[in-house]
Amino acid sequence: MRVVVMGAGGYVGSRLVPALLAAGHQVTATFTRAAAAERFWWVDRVEVVEVDVLDRPTVRSAVAGAEALYYLVHGLGGDDFATSDREGAYNAAHAAVRAGLGRIVYLGGLVPAVADGDLSPHLRSRREVEQVLTDSGVPTLALRAAMVVGSGSTSFEIMRQLSERLPVQVLPRWMDSRVEPVAVTDVVAALVGAVTAPAVSRAFDLGSGERMPYAALLRLYADRAGLRRVQVRVPGLPTALVSRLAPALTRAPASTVQSLVESLHHDMVCGRPDLMVQLIPRGHARTPVAEAIDRALAVPDAAVPDPGRDILGPLSSDAAWTGSLSG
């Protein structure tokens, strides 16, 4: 099948592309700058197309002749990211209809069962993009995930770097919200399966099956990383203050950290975990969170090139700011 991956240069996209190639698909990988594709080992095995999702003609051109579209484009930074997300989704939806695509596969975030007005701007935008794509009339399989565990994942890297920086972890009451992390290996398996699943618009929650408060996840990470950390409860600590201070403690883009911190007030767990099995291959066992963390922290053999590495671990193509602060 000929598929287009919009957002191929992102964390999940860069790991999805080789999995699609291994499954026998023809892949068109889009980048905002074609030169950015050169850092990926699989660049010579795909068609690279320069696309600006805010420019409708480039989006239409990229999907012409394709059978399916993976839409992995997300904005986290800037004052107007939600508007850009919405416009990009409309352009993708329009192009998909015009090209007669058989399906759209979208990776978004788990959406808490609360009113839109109670969601953070980040989560509200994810929900809106999913709705825009689904409303296009093209069968849209919307995959939803909370924290994706793996070296290079934005949320994982923020947890890693904050844990390294802070020997004493201050826990507001909202850190009691529950989260259901999922290993990137399982996310990729579900994404690959989505392109051949029945072409019916539906949402699929992706998770590990392990639900825990954010505070417990921080303790688990510290234990697997060999860090001795003390947790102190400060119930009244406001989110706004934490979102302003946290960026100074990581190398992640400040606007990204702020957006993710603002999303911690809600439980981020799967509503229908049973649906995920419809996408992943028979016999594929989901990776336990502790194992996923161990594999994400493992130091790869420098003599092994990216194609032979565990995608849970670091790849040479990952963003420069990711990884241990001591590395």
Per-domain boundaries in the chain: 2-308
Place of tokens 């790869």: 300
pLDDT tens per residue across span 218-242: 999 999 999 999 999 998 888 888 8
Taking the C-alpha atoms of residue 47 and residue 4, their distance in angstroms, rounded to an integer, is 9
CATH annotation of 2-308: 3.40.50.720
75 pLDDT more than 80:
no
As given in the structure block, the two tokens for residue 241 are 């203050």
User: Which pLDDT score, from 0 to 100, does residue 222 have?
Assistant: 98
Taking the C-alpha atoms of residue 12 and residue 4, their distance in angstroms, rounded to an integer, is 14
pLDDT tens per residue across span 116-133: 777 888 888 899 999 999
Using DSSP, state whether 230 is helix, strand or coil: strand
- Mean pLDDT computed over 286-296: 98
* Average pLDDT across the chain, whole number: 94
Cα angle 139-142-147, degrees, rounded to a multiple of 5: 170
pLDDT tens per residue across span 10-60: 999 999 999 999 999 999 999 999 999 999 999 999 999 999 999 999 999
In DSSP notation, 117-136 reads GGS-HHHHHHHHHHHHHHTT
Q: How far is CA 268 from CA 111, 114, 226, 293, 307, in A?
A: 7, 11, 26, 19, 32
User: Which pLDDT score, from 0 to 100, does residue 114 have?
Assistant: 81
Place of tokens 């480039």: 58
User: Which pLDDT score, from 0 to 100, does residue 128 have?
Assistant: 94
Reported pTM: 0.96
